[in-house]
Structure 1
Amino acid sequence: MNTTYFKETNPVSLAERYRLEDPEVLALFGSHPAAPGAWEDRAARLDAAAGRRADPRRVAAAIRDYHRSLPPSDAVDRSLTKLEQEDSLVVVGGQQAGLFGGALLIYYKALSVIQAAKEAEQRLSRPVVPVFWIAGEDHDFDEANHANVQASGGEVRRVRIERPEGPRLAVSRTPLTQEQWASALQELASQLPDTEFKPGLLDRLQSHVADAPSLSLAFARLLVDWFGGQGLLLLDADDPNLRTLEGPMFRELIERNDDLEGALKAGERVVLDKGLSLQAEIAPDSANLFLHHEQGRLLLHKENGRFIDRRGHVSYSCQEMQQLTADHPDLLSTNALTRPLMQDYLLPVLAAVLGPSELAYWGILGPAFREFELSVPLLLPRQSFTFVEASIVKLLDKYSLSVQEAIEEWETRRTQWLGEQDEWQLEEQFLQVKEQFKALYAPVLDTVSQLQPGLAKLAENNQDKILDQIEYLQSRSSDAIAKRHEASLRQWDRIRQSLTPLGKPQERVYGTVHFLNRYGPGWLSLWESVPFDANGGHRLVDAAAAI
């Protein structure tokens, strides 16, 4: 597949500076995957700290058990066997589930995990397994319950499942009915344009939801469809079998919660001292843990030596929290800042694939990793793509636009093109008329002001009304030109709706199903030929050359 890099015009974010190997930002993380010997050094650290992690055989058994609820795959079985080996390492990435696979960026993250694992296995000559965790413990159902597609008319349409009434439970614990799934599939079918691939796509999606699974489980089944042949292992962060294995780390996070808070605050100061912005400021006395409760997933805080939620539903002593880790570890849950620590305890994480916001979160975690005798894994920026369809390539050529111009300067270039279609030079003519009118009217203004001061304001209002009428005529004339070129302007709109739908990056809006419906299963195999880049970056994919 042919790809070219999109040049970032303002590389000032922490994530972009890290990607470009800015030494000041690298100091927050300790290393960079493009640095000589970085992979080997990380592997050696993991080998030395093997005794600090959960039992790898029990972890592999839990993941194997989870995969029994997913479509079978020989490549997945081979990855599970590799994971059981003592010298096995993993590359991980994760994301909240997404309806019908969610946005393209999820697909690209899983792809990045697989590519990085293959690269690392060749580099280190030892088993490296790709693992994708699904954030089923998250309770923001509105982040997971939708997918966007482009309808036949070119407009973006959102297909969604509404959250059931009641407490905001974790997504993996939110029950859905067959009626809800049937309605969502019907809505998807009505919005997707008719293609030769549409019936097969809808049938496969139906097969995944026939038993009315949670969003997380349906999402996992789809990921196995897409990536099972490449050996991607899946786990749900809310899996009770994994929770049991995480108990010792939860106990340490609870017992040393003040140390955790101090380390996170120290990480914040380091980031701020470098003149960087925080992704989100840590709330005072936050425990950085959640508790699953009948009233929903509750964020815990510390008050007078107890772990409480702000709404007054729970209040636990440290000892009672410790007892939960033994008796009911499934009631406990990490947040965005403690999940990386738990991940490193659970798995031999050689590298983690992160999006820009995640990298910003991780910027403060160095002191916390050290506080708990862990070390920050190699951090791989998620690969980012814009898929430039063949029909869009033709339109770009027609209007002499580069993809970069179409993404960054669409409004300016469209206005410029439309102005070039004005063979009558209307803008210049109307500007000249307005200037001439002002010149002719100036003596009148001066005369009536001298005649009676109160008439000055009336004269100015009169002038403004006449100018407004000239402006109105100019606007209607411009509309007439646009009307003459309506078909071409629709093509300009098609360019924008494809590359930057809703004014956002393509990968953050359109679902993967949008392109599967257009190009069929063969579209998935195209991505296997994309070369791996440890630095990530935004690449443009020329579909005309790929399909």
Structure 2
Amino acid sequence: MNVVSDSLKSGSALADDYINRFAQVQELYGDDFRLEESWRSRAEWLDESEGTRVSRKALTDCLRQYNSRHNDYKEVHNSLDLLAQEGTLSIVGGQQSGLFTGSLLVVYKALTIVLAAKEAEEKLQRPVVPVFWIAGEDHDWDEVNHTYVMTPELQVKKIKMDAAPGPRNSVSRIQVSPEQWKQSIDHLASLLPDSENKPAILELLHQAAEESGNLSDAFAKLLGRLFGELGLILLDSADPALRALEIPVFERIIKHNDELGRTYQETASRITSKGYPLQADVTADGANLFYIYEGNRLLLQKQNGSFTDRKGIVEFSREALLKELEEHPERFSNNVLTRPLMQESLLPVLGSVLGQGEISYWAITKDAFPVMGLKMPILLPRMSFTLVNGTLRKYMEHFSLSFQDVQHRLDDARQSWLNAQADLHIEPRFEETRSAFEKLYEPLIRELGTIQHGLIPLGEKNRDKILEQISYLERKTKQALEKQHEAALRQWDHIGVSLFPMGKPQERVFNVFYYINRYGFGWILDILGSCRRYMPEHQIVEM
């Protein structure tokens, strides 16, 4: 396995500047993740602020119960033992609980967390544990209920789990029936080619499904299978036991809600004034909290001194909301702007591993941390990979294609190659023919008009029909040429679909089990071994 760096097109201008031109956006963030001094300074601040977070013992007891159910590995319990000790720090990152873990980027985020924790531990000479924050409180079912694999016919196929009709609840609270699990697993099984790894994959998925009543529990079990032996602690943000520990944090968010709201708006204005789009909604009346009512997760806003939802289904005074929190903490959850504050209040976060979209919206939260007596952690860009097997590498070399060619100009390169296969240069010759025809025909139409004006529209209609027939012949010629070079063009398609399926980076589309089916469960550890150190640059992994 060989790993080389190469750039991947960015989905966020702000995140791109954070990674590559930090000085330009420094005022929107905290410390520079590349500087060793940033890590030492952050560790010292965490030591000094130990008392601002929830009890380590209470937190680790809660996490031990959860991980014993879904991620019961000796190495995980060792990590929890360390986390319970004052002075232990953590690297944290999270994601929604996607079907069969979702796309590859979820696995890469977990890999980054593990690698960054190990590197930080060596750098600081003190314990640093990896923690994965499962965003089970999120309620967007359509974002998590599907994943994709590639078929031997080079088709990108979607596997989707339809939810039973019901309230707009958190993903961790949406029940999944055995029939739904079976249908999704059977669909995946029908799309994966037979291999020596396929039986073990299906056995793992069936076992996870049998022991899980919802998508988040299955997600945890699968992530545990992939990273449990590396000591990765899992946390579900919708865990009722965890929610009870969060009462003091929610209380501070409610009491300081107006001040938090002002910081979000002021920072959002600074971001947009620099020409960057906002990656999260910031409204003047937003409370940035959700309240769960009869199974529906309602986003709260402030109106006339009260907390209510957009439709006016619920309404609380500040005092009534605090009382509700004390009696029913399970009814509260964070939005994207308060989740960073909650994470910081629970864990000794040395660094937070984020994707590009997250880096962008975390900028909105920078000045909110001090309102809560907190400080923004070091933000680590998630490591990014594209997997290229030997066959793809051979095809790319044959057609003299670089990764950047595939990323930015594959269609043009494909057409240029195809045109070069024929002695007749199709597009230029047909363009010449069209131009010559129009040059000869236009004067004729005008001359005919001197005989009878009605001949001009007739001539123009005739001209358009002839041009249409020339274009038709051009299309048929290209089809014939493609037919003649069908095998080679399939190789071009193989390159494009494998590396940029649906026009998106591979890591944002394909599921990890598609690759486990081909390479076995060990390839993730192989990447970890090949990387050796954390790198924010995109990397090509030659399998």
TMscore range, shorter length: over 0.9
Matching residue of 2:278: 278
Report what 1:248 is aligned to.
248
Looking at structure 1, the residues matched to 443 and 518 of structure 2 have their Cα atoms a distance apart, in angstroms, of: 66
**1:314 Cα deviation from its structure 2 partner:** 1.0
- In 2: Cα distance, 1:35 partner to 1:454 partner: 78
Cα distance in 2 for residues equivalent to 1:439 and 1:235: 72
Amino acid at match of 1:19: I
**1:22 positional shift:** 2.3
Matches within 5 A, 1:436-455: 436-455=436-455
Question: Which residue is 2:34 aligned to?
Answer: 34
In structure 2, C-alpha distance between the alignment counterparts of 1:140 and 1:426, rounded to whole Å: 49
Give the secondary structure class of the aligned counterpart of 1:323.
helix
Corresponding residue for residue 328 of structure 1: 328
> Who is 1:86 aligned against?
86
The 1-side partners of 2:231 and 2:298 are apart by 35
Task: Answer with 203-212 or 522-531: which moved more.
Answer: 522-531
Q: Which runs of 5+ in 1 are unaligned?
A: none
The CA RMSD over aligned residues, in Å, is 1.6
Change (3 A) 1:343 1:184: same
Q: Distance in 2 between matches of 1:442 and 1:497?
A: 45
> 1:422–1:262: structure 2 CA closer, same or farther, 3 Å change rule?
same
1: CA distance, partners of 2:432 / 2:24: 55
Question: Pairwise mapping of residues 103-118 of structure 1 onto structure 2 (< 5 A)?
Answer: 103-118=103-118
The CA deviation at 1:443 is 4.6
Distance 1:464 1:500 in 2: 38
Q: 2-side partners of 1:326 and 1:446: how far apart?
A: 86
1:173-192 alignment runs, 5 A limit: 173-192=173-192
Which shows bigger deviation, 456-465 or 333-342? 456-465
**Residues 131 and 234 in structure 1, CA contact (< 8 A), matched pair in contact too:** yes
Q: Is the 8 A contact 2:133 2:237 kept in 1?
A: yes
- What is the aligned partner in structure 2 of residue 393 from structure 1? 393
Secondary structure of residue in 1 paired with 2:246 = helix
Unaligned runs of 5+ in 2: none
User: Residues 165, 30 of structure 1: CA spacing in aligned structure 2 closer, same or farther, 3 A cutoff?
Assistant: same
Instruction: Give the secondary-structure state (helix, strand or coil) at the position aligned to 1:187.
Output: helix
Whether 1:269 aligns to 2:279 is no
Q: Specify the alignment match of 2:491 in structure 1.
A: 491
* TM-score between the two structures when normalised by the length of structure 2: 0.97
Report what 2:408 is aligned to: 408
- Indicate yes or no: 2:47 matched with 1:51: no
1:489-543 per-residue CA deviation (whole Å, 9 max, x = no partner) reads: 1111111110000110100000101101111112222122143665512111111
1:442 & 1:328 partners in 2: Cα distance? 80
Paired letter, 1:337: L
Output the amino acid matched with 2:384: S
Partner of 1:261: helix, strand, or coil?
helix
Superposed, 1:117-516 pairs within 5 Å as: 117-516=117-516
Letter aligned with residue 519 of structure 2: Y
The more displaced of 501-510 and 271-280 is: 271-280
- Quick one: distance in 2 between partners of 1:183 and 1:373? 48
- Residue 422 of structure 1 and its aligned partner are, at CA, apart by 1.6
In structure 2, distance between residues paired with 1:339 and 1:89? 19
Distance 1:332 1:443, change over 3 A: closer
Q: By how many angstroms is 1:212 displaced?
A: 4.2
Question: Is residue 17 from structure 1 mapped to residue 11 from structure 2 by the alignment?
Answer: no
Q: Is the 8 A contact 1:178 1:211 kept in 2?
A: no
Q: Is this contact kept in 1: 2:12–2:357, CA < 8 A?
A: no
Number of matched pairs: 543
**Alignment check: 8 A CA contact 2:93 2:353 kept:** yes
CA distance in 2, matches of 1:438, 1:309: 64
Identity value in percent: 42
Q: Deviations over 1:43-75 (max 9, x none)?
A: 011111111110111101100010121142111
- Give yes or no for contact 1:93–1:131 (8 Å, CA) kept in 2: yes
Separation of aligned partners in 2, 1:10 and 1:244: 39
User: Bigger shift: 436-445 or 94-103?
Assistant: 436-445
SS in 1 for 2:117: helix
Pair 1:163–1:246, CA change in 2 (3 A): same
Equivalent position amino acid for 1:171 in 2: V
Deviates more, 1:303-312 or 1:336-345: 303-312
C-alpha deviation, 1:10, in angstroms: 7.0
CA contact (8 A) 1:54 1:245 kept: yes
Preserved contact between residue 181 and residue 209 of structure 2 (Cα < 8 Å): yes
The 5-angstrom pairing of residues 58-69 of structure 1 reads 58-69=58-69
TM-score where L is the length of structure 1: 0.96
